[in-house]
Amino acid sequence: MSQSNDILEPRLVAVDSYYLSVINDRIQDLSNDSEYLSMALSAINTDDDASKGVITAIQGALFHNSQSASDISEMLDQLIVMPPVEVKSHE
Protein backbone atom coordinates (compact mmCIF):
# COMPACT_ATOMS: atom_id res chain seq x y z
CA MET A 1 0.00 0.00 0.00
CA SER A 2 1.47 3.30 -1.02
CA GLN A 3 -0.40 5.43 1.53
CA SER A 4 -0.05 5.48 5.29
CA ASN A 5 -3.15 4.52 7.28
CA ASP A 6 -3.00 8.00 8.83
CA ILE A 7 -3.67 9.52 5.39
CA LEU A 8 -6.50 7.23 4.28
CA GLU A 9 -10.02 8.41 4.93
CA PRO A 10 -12.46 5.91 6.46
CA ARG A 11 -14.83 4.33 3.94
CA LEU A 12 -17.03 1.31 3.62
CA VAL A 13 -15.85 -1.42 1.29
CA ALA A 14 -17.52 -4.61 0.17
CA VAL A 15 -15.47 -7.67 1.10
CA ASP A 16 -16.62 -11.25 0.78
CA SER A 17 -16.31 -13.19 4.06
CA TYR A 18 -14.76 -16.08 2.13
CA TYR A 19 -12.00 -13.75 0.93
CA LEU A 20 -11.40 -12.65 4.52
CA SER A 21 -11.21 -16.32 5.53
CA VAL A 22 -8.55 -16.99 2.89
CA ILE A 23 -6.52 -14.00 4.11
CA ASN A 24 -6.97 -15.22 7.68
CA ASP A 25 -5.68 -18.68 6.74
CA ARG A 26 -2.53 -17.15 5.22
CA ILE A 27 -1.96 -15.05 8.36
CA GLN A 28 -2.35 -18.15 10.53
CA ASP A 29 0.20 -19.90 8.29
CA LEU A 30 2.65 -17.05 8.90
CA SER A 31 2.11 -17.35 12.65
CA ASN A 32 2.68 -21.10 12.57
CA ASP A 33 5.76 -20.77 10.36
CA SER A 34 7.27 -18.28 12.80
CA GLU A 35 6.73 -20.71 15.67
CA TYR A 36 8.25 -23.62 13.73
CA LEU A 37 11.30 -21.55 12.76
CA SER A 38 11.78 -20.52 16.36
CA MET A 39 11.61 -24.16 17.48
CA ALA A 40 14.14 -25.09 14.79
CA LEU A 41 16.53 -22.44 16.08
CA SER A 42 16.24 -23.99 19.55
CA ALA A 43 17.90 -27.12 18.15
CA ILE A 44 21.09 -25.21 17.32
CA ASN A 45 23.81 -25.72 19.92
CA THR A 46 26.72 -23.32 20.07
CA ASP A 47 29.27 -22.25 22.64
CA ASP A 48 29.78 -18.87 20.99
CA ASP A 49 28.10 -16.13 23.02
CA ALA A 50 27.60 -13.89 19.98
CA SER A 51 25.86 -16.70 18.09
CA LYS A 52 23.67 -17.42 21.11
CA GLY A 53 22.73 -13.74 21.21
CA VAL A 54 21.83 -13.70 17.52
CA ILE A 55 19.73 -16.86 17.89
CA THR A 56 17.93 -15.39 20.90
CA ALA A 57 17.25 -12.12 19.06
CA ILE A 58 15.86 -13.97 16.03
CA GLN A 59 13.67 -16.13 18.26
CA GLY A 60 12.34 -13.00 19.95
CA ALA A 61 11.52 -11.40 16.61
CA LEU A 62 9.83 -14.60 15.39
CA PHE A 63 7.80 -14.79 18.61
CA HIS A 64 6.72 -11.16 18.20
CA ASN A 65 5.72 -11.80 14.56
CA SER A 66 3.78 -14.90 15.57
CA GLN A 67 1.92 -12.97 18.28
CA SER A 68 1.14 -10.09 15.92
CA ALA A 69 -0.16 -12.50 13.28
CA SER A 70 -2.35 -14.22 15.88
CA ASP A 71 -3.76 -10.84 16.98
CA ILE A 72 -4.54 -9.92 13.37
CA SER A 73 -6.15 -13.32 12.85
CA GLU A 74 -8.42 -12.73 15.84
CA MET A 75 -9.47 -9.35 14.41
CA LEU A 76 -10.28 -10.99 11.08
CA ASP A 77 -12.27 -13.70 12.87
CA GLN A 78 -14.45 -10.96 14.35
CA LEU A 79 -14.97 -9.37 10.92
CA ILE A 80 -15.82 -12.71 9.29
CA VAL A 81 -18.70 -13.45 11.66
CA MET A 82 -20.21 -9.96 11.53
CA PRO A 83 -23.72 -9.87 10.13
CA PRO A 84 -24.07 -8.61 6.56
CA VAL A 85 -24.88 -4.95 6.11
CA GLU A 86 -27.11 -3.66 3.37
CA VAL A 87 -26.14 -0.32 1.92
CA LYS A 88 -28.88 1.59 0.11
CA SER A 89 -28.19 4.18 -2.51
CA HIS A 90 -29.29 7.73 -1.77
CA GLU A 91 -29.79 8.53 -5.43
Q: Mind listing the pLDDT tens digit for each residue in 25-76?
A: 999 999 999 999 999 999 999 999 999 999 999 999 999 999 999 999 999 9
Determine, yes or no, domain membership for 6: no
Determine, yes or no, domain membership for 73: yes
Determine, yes or no, domain membership for 10: no
**pLDDT at position 19, please?**
94
Domain holding 68, by residue range, is 17-80
**pLDDT at position 3, please?**
61
**Count of domains for the chain:** 1
Four-CA torsion 50, 54, 57, 62, nearest 10 degrees? -160
CB proximity list for 18: less than 8 A, separation 6 or greater:
none
Determine, yes or no, domain membership for 44: yes
CA distance 34 to 71: 14
Q: Which of 37, 29, 28 is nearest to 73 (CA)?
A: 28
Helical H runs in the chain? 17-42, 49-80
